[in-house]
Structure 1
């Protein structure tokens, strides 16, 4: 196992131990939730939401606001653990992708989107997968 994989696993464990970090960061309104259900918005391996399809209306601003809140939370948590923000965010992304609901879209590689089926998400190497 590489050093990066060990760090990712340790950070993911930390995120789990913090009691629902992902759930706390995923507070979304109805429009964002509907966009996730329809496959317009999805989770990314970097810990942030992204667009699998072009957003309409106020959706982009709402997703941007969620991502800003996530970045603020990741920054605080990473600083307390003295780890890079990107590494902490990616560990949360790994955790989120691992528990993704069937039918939701996700991205493990920039710009490449898939829909979660019955099988587990094939996690990127940064997740120890």
Structure 2
């Protein structure tokens, strides 16, 4: 389990603004948006999109590209803050889960998926909950 240092949490807040561009890119692609809306893909606690069910090859390629861009952004910020990339990515995952829209799929434990309701998500321990 990766515990996030206070520095990672504060860096996550600043990076959340930068991360807003990634979902915007996803929303510009109709196939990715449809997969998010249908629950075929969802947000994970590790800061990346994941597959709820086996994707078509073209959707997999698009999600992989989004995750690569996320990793690049996480790497840049983590290096400037001198924190582990995985810890920083997880802090973004915690933020993403905390603001997830109802009806979207999410995973707080690898391979275990749920659909967001109006109730808050029970965040994993590394989120400080």
* Fold shared per TM-score above 0.5: yes
| Aligned counterpart, 2:14 | 17
Q: CA RMSD in A?
A: 1.6
State whether residues 44 and 50 of structure 1, in contact with CA within 8 Å, keep that contact through their aligned partners in structure 2.
yes
| Aligned counterpart, 1:44 | 44
Deviation for aligned residue 1:53: 1.3
| Aligned counterpart, 2:103 | 103
Deviation for aligned residue 1:57: 4.2
| Aligned counterpart, 1:55 | 55
Deviates more, 1:43-52 or 1:22-31: 22-31
State whether residues 15 and 21 of structure 1, in contact with CA within 8 Å, keep that contact through their aligned partners in structure 2.
no
1:44-123 mapped onto 2 (5 Å cutoff): 44-123=44-123
- For 1:19 and 1:113, how far apart are their aligned partners in 2? 23
| Aligned counterpart, 2:32 | 32
- TM-score for the superposition, normalised by structure 1: 0.90
Alignment size in residue pairs: 125
The answer for unaligned runs of 5 or more in structure 2 is none
The answer for unaligned runs of 5 or more in structure 1 is none
| Aligned counterpart, 2:3 | 4
Alignment deviations for residues 48-106 of structure 1 (CA, whole Å, 9 cap, x no partner): 00000111241000000000000111000000000000000000000000000000000
